[in-house]
Amino acid sequence: MTGGRREEVDPFSPAAIRGAYDATATDYARQFGDDLDRLPLDRALLDAAFDASPGGWVLEAGCGPAPAAGHLGDRAPRLLGLDLSAGMLAVARTRHRALPLVQADLRHLPLRGGCCGLVVAMYTLHNVARTGLSLALNEIHRVLDREGVLLLATHLGIGDVIVEEFLGRRVDAVGGALYARDEMVELVTAAGFAVEREHRREPMSHEHPTERIYLLLRRVT
């Protein structure tokens, strides 16, 4: 505290992101945890990404309630869920009791290089500050097999969105970064990935009103 005023917190800081999702984890799972049931595109791309991967561990990065792990199930015997929020990991544990889980930052993955055949990062990279996205992409590149696959889904738009209410709850300011299509493709290409498939979809009624982009990417360098 300085001069009787609360110090401002960076809305993209790990503390801000963790705090928002810890506070809303149960509500988030209730609102979005079963969305795959009504998203045939997402299911098809998860299947395609898994089939295209060379084997090895499947990492659901920013897993939340771990919908991708639930969808892939027994087809992927080596699954790992990772999230910054302990609250989200607790929810994932109630839904998938046998799933190994780890709390970590996408920019500092506690995994050895080349151990993953597939990384799924669906609706998580927007919570990384623009200045840190290349670091997160480089970390994903590092942990992937030389021919590994990244399935990325995020929000299209311009600039950053800062909110202080999330799922009906008051939270400290938390940020979401929006990207133009060409901007995101340039960033993943610079990180050593090639685009194998690209899709878009409009938001559902309960989602944030942004167009979504899906990129199925192959590590090429």
pLDDT (tens digit, 9 = 90+) per residue, 58-111?
999 999 999 999 999 999 999 999 999 999 999 999 999 999 999 999 999 999
Mean pLDDT of 23-51: 95
The Cα 27–Cα 136 span in angstroms is: 27
Does position 197 have pLDDT exceeding 50, yes or no? yes
Report the percentage of the chain scoring pLDDT > 70.
96
Residue pair 221/192 in contact (Cβ under 8 Å)? The answer is: yes
* Main-chain phi, psi angles of 48, to 5 degrees: -65, -40
**Mean predicted confidence (pLDDT) in 180-200:** 98
Q: Which residues contact 17 (CB under 8 A, 6 or more apart)?
A: 84, 85, 127, 174
Confidence of residue 7 (pLDDT cuts 50, 70, 90): low
Q: Which pLDDT value is given to residue 9? A: 78
Rounded Cα distance between 33 and 66, Å, is 8
Query: What is the chain's Cα-based Rg?
Result: 17
Phi, psi of 96 (to 5 degrees): -140, 80
Reported as a single tens digit per residue, the pLDDT across 127-146 is 999 999 999 999 999 999 99
In the predicted structure, residue 4 carries a pLDDT above the cut 70: no
Residue 168: pLDDT band by 50, 70, 90 thresholds? confident
On average, the pLDDT of the chain sits at 94
CATH assignment of 14-106+115-126+143-219, given 3.40.50.150, 1.10.1740.10, 1.10.287.610, 3.40.50.300? 3.40.50.150
